[in-house]
């Protein structure tokens, strides 16, 4: 009897809810015709494909079952979002094993009262996405920010879609795309009677040199929708993204009680599943591999988060790793890479081009003769990593002696090499195949006519640290001061507006350098030399560093080999995927291909 009464109450509740929803829709339709002058009523069961997934507008669905059914149609490797869910608790009860409440806040900007900012962007400008090259650049930024990528042809095929607006920020000097944002016009998407709009996929290149890119993109999109007559612009931001929330509140956004629902899939796993113990303490290099392993169903045990150690297990196989260094790298290979002089001898015997090198000693005449022979030299510790105590382009005995003293604080044995003019190229070789190639450039600042060079360095260093999880900062030390002296500058000088100066010669990421992908254009001879070096060392995962005239030029000089290359530095190249393929060849998509007989 009690069960019957419960069933009756539940049926009555559902009936009343359906009636209320129909009344709500009729009100929307009435507003659509009369309140805002639209000829079409609100479109039922509306969604819009954004390339990375669909935005599903929950207010256009008759009931929860229909909405859940729409979420079940999510395409592989996509992230659909049901937005403006009015009763999320009820919806979750209908499919608790399949969907979850997104832990994000919704913020709204009232465009009727919004006022444009007076600050003009410096060094970059905002424009529409106009080419497939723009689309590839946007995907590169998405990858660097851990976002779902979009087929480049999707951007291009939707360039005339009036419901979607793609804006990009372009560096005035280099022409590179350094930021992006996507806007959705709700009126054009589903005849929204409230005349709303929303902002999605705000992303700034972590290596961008200029401040204010994100803020400018948000402002430009808001101005665009205001000019179209939109009443508001909404956005969704994770509850713990305090830096972004502070920006939005500064611009006048206010939080509203709107909720989103997503499917439980591998992309969203960190949002709904219990996090790995100590996961947050991992650095970006370890986290990238851990995320890829978990996505494939490979078991992960974090053994020492601070050191970047974890164990991966699948199918009875277990491999202990420290970031990209695994048990598959032998102790011999690691010791070859550890000593730069040994590395040089090994690869030279394999036929690679190496610079002339000497060990720093007490014989000043020998040092002077070496300098006279080469004009400019590099000083570096024989053992060391992350660019510590490396000085590049030294041209006087005094500079060399100072650099030797600094290098000896890292390693007793110091090497002096001939300096090869050109660019620093890193090639990542996994399983003796090239996976990624990137030019590494030294840190440089751009003057604004107001700030000292010290202040510009500190500002850039904060941005680089925020973008790399604290991995990239610019030291203000003797090497920085020496580099400035080459331009007759000091740390306390105010740099004139627009002037661009290099503040360190070394291009290492950890000392503030930036990385620019050149995998698609790197010369085959450079690839061949890198693979030959990896085979000579007999190492399965390695970063080979060359000095080159350019990535498309075959000339090079070998610099060193890194047994633990930072794979997170090379997005959008599939470095983590190839690393896990090496350890577990039949994991993930490869297992599916093997089962289908395609491998």
Cβ–Cβ < 8 Å for 353, 558: yes
The DSSP letter of residue 119 is P
Does residue 562 form part of some domain?
A: no
Give backbone dihedrals phi and psi of 173, rounded to 5 degrees, phi first: -85, -50
Q: What is the mean pLDDT of residues 339-355?
A: 93
Three-state DSSP at 176 gives coil
* Residue 198 CB partners (closer than 8 Å, separation 6+): 55, 83, 183, 184, 186, 233, 234, 235
pLDDT of amino acid 259: 97
Give me 463's structure tokens.
């941005």
pLDDT of amino acid 406: 87
146, 251, 256, 553, 571 from 233: Cα distances, Å: 24, 12, 12, 48, 31
74-113: pLDDT as tens digits: 999 899 999 999 999 999 999 999 999 999 999 999 999 9
How far apart (Å, rounded) are the C-alpha atoms in residues 516 and 424? 11
Exposure of 252 by Cβ count < 10 A (0-12 exposed, 13-18 middle, 19+ buried)? middle
**Cα diameter, the chain:** 104
DSSP-assigned states of every residue in 411-442: -SSEEEEEPPPSEEEEEEEETTEEEEEEEEE-
How far apart (Å, rounded) are the C-alpha atoms in residues 238 and 75? 23
How many structural domains comprise the chain?
1
Q: What is the mean pLDDT of residues 20-44?
A: 49
Q: Which domain holds residue 472?
A: 443-504
Q: Which residues make beta-bridge pairs with 261?
A: 82, 101
Give me 235's structure tokens.
């956005």
Q: What is the mean pLDDT of residues 553-578?
A: 92
- Under the banding of pLDDT at 50, 70 and 90, the label for residue 411 is confident
Q: Which helix (H) or strand (E) holds 248?
A: helix 242-250
Does residue 255 form part of some domain?
A: no
How far apart (Å, rounded) are the C-alpha atoms in residues 520 and 281? 34
- Torsion angle of C-alpha atoms 233, 236, 240, 242, degrees rounded to 10: -20
Does residue 483 form part of some domain?
A: yes
Alpha helix (H) ranges present in 441-486? 453-467, 478-485
* Residue 182 CB partners (closer than 8 Å, separation 6+): 50, 164, 165, 166, 167, 199, 200, 201
Cβ–Cβ < 8 Å for 363, 383: no
248-293: pLDDT as tens digits: 999 999 999 999 999 999 888 888 887 788 888 999 899 999 999 9
HSE value, Cβ hemisphere, 13 Å, CA-based, for 254? 6
Give me 598's structure tokens.
């395609």
Q: What is the mean pLDDT of residues 466-493?
A: 83
* pLDDT of 550 higher than 50: yes
Does residue 470 form part of some domain?
A: yes
How far apart (Å, rounded) are the C-alpha atoms in residues 480 and 504? 5
pLDDT of amino acid 25: 47
pLDDT of amino acid 582: 96
More confident residue, 450 or 362: 450
59, 129, 471, 506, 566 from 465: Cα distances, Å: 41, 28, 6, 17, 15
Q: What is the mean pLDDT of residues 433-449?
A: 90
pLDDT of amino acid 463: 78
Per this entry, what is the length of the chain? 599
- Under the banding of pLDDT at 50, 70 and 90, the label for residue 427 is very high
* pLDDT, the chain, mean: 87
Q: Which helix (H) or strand (E) holds 292?
A: helix 284-296
pLDDT of amino acid 159: 78
- Under the banding of pLDDT at 50, 70 and 90, the label for residue 38 is very low
pLDDT of amino acid 515: 86
pLDDT of amino acid 95: 95
How far apart (Å, rounded) are the C-alpha atoms in residues 419 and 483? 15
* pLDDT of 8 higher than 60: no
* pLDDT of 37 higher than 80: no
- Under the banding of pLDDT at 50, 70 and 90, the label for residue 589 is low
Find, among 567, 64, 11, 599, the residue nearest to 325 by Cα.
567
Q: What is the mean pLDDT of residues 208-220?
A: 91
Cβ–Cβ < 8 Å for 530, 427: yes
Does residue 569 form part of some domain?
A: no
- Under the banding of pLDDT at 50, 70 and 90, the label for residue 221 is very high
Percent pLDDT > 70 in the chain is 91
Does residue 477 form part of some domain?
A: yes
pLDDT of amino acid 157: 85
503-541: pLDDT as tens digits: 887 777 778 888 889 999 999 999 999 999 999 999 999
pLDDT of amino acid 40: 57
Find, among 583, 579, 529, the residue nearest to 555 by Cα.
529
* pLDDT of 20 higher than 60: no
pLDDT of amino acid 57: 98
Give backbone dihedrals phi and psi of 7, rounded to 5 degrees, phi first: -65, -40
pLDDT of amino acid 126: 96
In degrees, to the nearest 5, what angle opens at C-alpha 450 toward C-alphas 449 and 454? 105
Does residue 472 form part of some domain?
A: yes
How far apart (Å, rounded) are the C-alpha atoms in residues 147 and 149? 6
pLDDT of amino acid 386: 66
More confident residue, 41 or 26: 41
Q: What is the mean pLDDT of residues 532-556?
A: 96
Give me 200's structure tokens.
């999605």
pLDDT of amino acid 588: 63
Weakest mean pLDDT among 10-24, 247-261, 378-392, 481-495:
10-24
The DSSP letter of residue 396 is S
* pLDDT of 175 higher than 70: yes
Q: What is the mean pLDDT of residues 399-418?
A: 88
Sort residue 327 into left (φ over 0), alpha (ψ -120 to 50) or beta.
alpha
pLDDT of amino acid 155: 87
Q: What is the mean pLDDT of residues 188-210?
A: 93
Does residue 490 form part of some domain?
A: yes
Write down the pTM of the prediction.
0.73
pLDDT of amino acid 311: 97
Weakest mean pLDDT among 295-309, 431-445, 478-492:
478-492
Find, among 166, 279, 290, the residue nearest to 217 by Cα.
166
Cβ–Cβ < 8 Å for 183, 215: no
Q: What is the mean pLDDT of residues 193-199?
A: 97
135-173: pLDDT as tens digits: 989 998 998 888 899 988 898 888 788 999 999 999 998
* pLDDT of 597 higher than 80: no
How far apart (Å, rounded) are the C-alpha atoms in residues 573 and 426? 13
99, 208, 522 from 426: Cα distances, Å: 42, 20, 11
């Amino acid at each position: 009897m009690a069960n019957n009464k419960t069933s009756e109450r539940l049926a009555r509740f559902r009936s009343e809810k359906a009636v209320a929803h129909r009344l709500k829709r009729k009100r929307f339709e009435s507003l659509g015709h009369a309140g805002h002058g639209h000829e079409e009523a609100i479109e039922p069961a509306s969604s819009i494909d954004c390339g990375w997934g669909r935005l599903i507008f929950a207010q256009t669905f008759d009931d929860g079952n229909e909405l859940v059914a729409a979420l079940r149609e999510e395409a592989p490797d996509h992230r659909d979002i049901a937005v403006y869910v009015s009763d999320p608790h009820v919806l979750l009860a209908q499919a608790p094993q399949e969907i979850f409440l997104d832990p994000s806040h919704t913020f709204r900007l009232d465009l009727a009262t919004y006022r444009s900012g007076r600050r003009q962007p410096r060094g970059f400008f905002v424009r529409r996405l106009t080419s497939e090259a723009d689309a590839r650049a946007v995907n590169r930024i998405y990858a660097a920010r851990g976002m779902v990528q979009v087929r480049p042809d999707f951007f291009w095929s939707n360039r005339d879609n009036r419901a979607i607006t793609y804006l990009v920020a372009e560096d005035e000097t280099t022409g590179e795309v350094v930021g992006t944002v996507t806007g959705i016009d709700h009126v054009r998407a589903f005849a929204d009677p409230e005349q709303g709009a929303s902002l999605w996929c705000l992303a700034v290149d972590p290596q961008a040199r200029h401040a204010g890119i994100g803020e400018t993109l948000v402002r430009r999109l808001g101005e665009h929708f205001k000019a179209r007559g939109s009443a508001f612009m909404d956005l969704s931001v994770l509850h713990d993204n305090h830096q972004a929330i502070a920006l939005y509140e500064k611009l006048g956004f206010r939080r509203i009680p709107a909720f989103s629902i997503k499917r439980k899939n591998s992309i969203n796993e960190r949002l709904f599943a219990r996090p790995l113990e100590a996961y947050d303490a991992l650095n970006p290099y370890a986290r990238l591999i851990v995320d890829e392993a978990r996505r494939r169903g490979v078991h992960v045990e974090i053994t020492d988060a601070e050191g970047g150690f974890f164990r991966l297990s699948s199918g009875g196989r277990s491999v202990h790793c420290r970031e990209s260094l695994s048990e598959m790298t032998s102790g011999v290979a690691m010791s070859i890479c550890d000593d730069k002089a040994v590395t040089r001898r090994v690869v030279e015997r394999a036929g690679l081009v190496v610079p002339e090198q000497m060990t720093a000693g007490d014989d000043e005449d020998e040092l002077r003769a070496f300098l006279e022979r080469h004009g400019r030299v590099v000083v570096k510790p024989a053992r060391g990593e992350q660019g510590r105590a490396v000085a590049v382009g030294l041209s006087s005995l005094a500079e060399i002696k100072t650099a030797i003293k600094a290098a000896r604080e890292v390693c007793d044995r110091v090497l002096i090499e001939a300096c090869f003019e050109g660019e620093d190229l890193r090639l990542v070789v996994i399983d003796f195949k090239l996976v990624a190639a990137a030019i590494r450039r030294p840190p440089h600042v751009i003057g604004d006519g107001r700030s000292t060079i010290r202040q510009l360095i500190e500002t850039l260093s904060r941005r680089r640290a925020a973008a790399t999880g604290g991995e990239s900062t610019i030291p203000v030390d003797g090497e920085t001061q020496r580099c400035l002296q080459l331009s007759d500058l000091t740390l306390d000088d105010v740099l004139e507006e627009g002037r661009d100066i290099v503040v360190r010669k070394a291009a290492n990421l950890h000392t503030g350098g930036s990385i620019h992908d050149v995998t698609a254009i790197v010369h085959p001879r450079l690839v061949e030399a890198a693979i030959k070096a990896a085979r000579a060392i007999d190492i399965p995962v390695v970063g080979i560093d060359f000095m080159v005239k350019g990535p498309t030029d075959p000339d090079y000089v070998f610099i060193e080999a890194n047994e633990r290359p930072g794979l997170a530095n090379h997005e959008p190249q599939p470095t983590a995927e190839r690393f896990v393929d090496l350890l577990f060849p039949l994991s993930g998509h490869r297992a599916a291909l093997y089962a289908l007989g395609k491998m």
